[in-house]
Amino acid sequence: MQIQQRVFFDDVEPGDSLPSREYGPLTVADTVRWAGLQENWQELHYDRDWVREHSGLRTFIASGAYRQALLMRMLTDWIGPRGMLRKLSVRHTHSTFEGDTMRFGGRVIEKSRDPSDPWMACEVEGKNQEDRQILTGRCTLVLPSHQ
């Protein structure tokens, strides 16, 4: 397989946007697949009737770890096979309900001045189809240099 490295440390500057990525709408198949992987049998994540009766929500919601996995997919796809996700902090601010979409994006806020340690810090954010924030966070990414 050909190595496709599309982004390099030298080409990225503070203020640049990370390419955004949209997932969903969230279905029961999505949440059940995740529940199976995580062995997390909380009805909150897949059982509409249980959630309405016991939690007072309109329907089930995505697990926080699932949303984080999608955010990480966006980041690792962007940095390419020679990049490395070094650090990620995430704070969940609003639920993703059945039928909601999740759009993740970000912005470079700082860049290493030392080319031998080519990291950059980014703000990341997730929003739903109503443009409401669902999570916020920061990450540190390491990118290869052209040299």
Partner 1 sequence: MSANEKSVITEELRAWIGRTSPVQPLELLSASDVRRYVDATGDANPLWLDDDFARSLGHRGRLLPPLLVGWIPFSLKEQEASDKLASFDLRRQLPVPENYTNVRNAGNETEWLKPVCLGEQLSSQSRIVDVVERRGKMGTGIYITQEERVFNREQDVVLLRRHTIALFPEHKFGDEEKTGGDR
Of the residues 16, 25, 95, 103, which one makes contact with partner 1 according to CB under 8 A? 95
Of the residues 20, 55, 129, 145, which one makes contact with partner 1 according to CB under 8 A? 55
Of the residues 33, 50, 99, 115, which one makes contact with partner 1 according to CB under 8 A? 33
d(CA 4, CA 106): 22
Burial class for 138, CB neighbours closer than 10 Å (0-12, 13-18, 19+): middle
Of the residues 9, 26, 34, 120, which one makes contact with partner 1 according to CB under 8 A? 34
d(CA 51, CA 24): 20
- Residue 42 and residue 34 in contact, taking contact as beta carbons nearer than 8 Å: no
- Residue 35 and residue 120 in contact, taking contact as beta carbons nearer than 8 Å: no
Of residues 102-131, which lie at the interface with partner 1 (CB under 8 A)? none
The two three-digit tokens of residue 117, written as one number: 């340690």
81 DSSP 8-state letter: T
Smallest distance, Å, CB 106 to partner 1?
Answer: 16
The two three-digit tokens of residue 85, written as one number: 């996700």
Nearer to partner 1 among residue 92 and residue 111 (C-beta): 92
Smallest distance, Å, CB 51 to partner 1?
Answer: 9
Window contacting partner 1 (CB under 8 A); options: 11-19, 38-46, 99-107, 108-116: 38-46
Smallest distance, Å, CB 77 to partner 1?
Answer: 7
Distances (CA, A) of 109 to 7, 19, 60, 124, 132: 17, 15, 35, 10, 22
Q: Which residues bind partner 1 (CB under 8 A)?
A: 1, 3, 23, 30, 33-34, 36-42, 44-45, 54-58, 61-70, 72-73, 76-77, 81-82, 84-95, 97, 135
